[in-house]
A and B are shown apart, each in its own frame.
Chain A
Amino acid sequence: DVVLTQTPSILSATIGQSVSISCRSSQSLLDSDGNTYLYWFLQRPGQSPQRLIYLVSNLGSGVPNRFSGSGSGTDFTLKISGVEAEDLGVYYCMQATHAPTFGAGTKLELK
């Protein structure tokens, strides 16, 4: 199985601060079709996951543009440019190039 390692596991931020989450894969996520099936999700407390980013850097429908994704191969990053209160929760990266696997999650909390 492909292992996704997310860091940090806990992220403390103030409102307005910019933060980044790293997701490193144990194998390249570049598919033979030329796509890289790397996603980012936010799960707010008591809610279902919400897709933020797909194919590394594409913003999901209705997702604010303070969220951005980047990376290639095995190293990926989610950046939030100016944290807002509604952004608090657990962030997961996921790959679907191989049998889908999720990272362990990064909890974003208020400092």
Chain B
Amino acid sequence: EVQLVESGGGLVQPGRSMKLSCAASGFTFSNYGMAWVRQAPTKGLEWVATISYDGSSTYYRDSVKGRFTISRDNAKSTLYLQMNSLRSEDTATYYCTRARFDYWGQGVMVTVSS
């Protein structure tokens, strides 16, 4: 059974950093591109970033370029999202998903507030 389990969320002050993790199981992690998608409270879905199966290529939405870094450790079957210079508008539930968008984690909440 494919499972994606996010962790690392919580409350953080504006301008500070936070790192999200997504532990994958039930499939060969190193064969799949992965992505992060977020959803602000009561809002719709918003793609954040994608990484290729081997980590050699990464893609970001404009509003997070230069602040967020997507990465992966295939030996640990884990996806990461390093978020720096956080803003109030980054407050959202962050979902980890395979790049085919066929499997999603349960999501982790990030609240940026002073």
Contacts and interface: CB of A to CB of B under 8 A. Distances in A.
A94 B104 CA distance: 15
Interface in A82-104: 90, 92, 94, 96, 99-104
B61 A102 contact: no
B47 A104 contact: no
A1 B47 CA distance: 12
7 tightest Cβ-Cβ pairs between the two chains A and B? A100-B47, A48-B104, A102-B45, A105-B44, A51-B102, A51-B101, A104-B44
B92 to A, nearest CB: 13
A104 to B, nearest CB: 5
Contacts of A92: 44-45
Contacts of A54: 100-102
Interface of A: 1, 39, 41, 43, 48-51, 54, 60-61, 90, 92, 94, 96, 99-105
Contacts of B46: 102
B102 A60 contact: yes
Interface residues of B, number: 18
A4 to B, nearest CB: 10
A104 B43 CA distance: 8
A103 B61 CA distance: 16
B45 A94 contact: yes
Contacts of A104: 44
A56 to B, nearest CB: 14
Interface string B41-73: 000111100100000000101100000000000
Contacts of A48: 95, 104-107
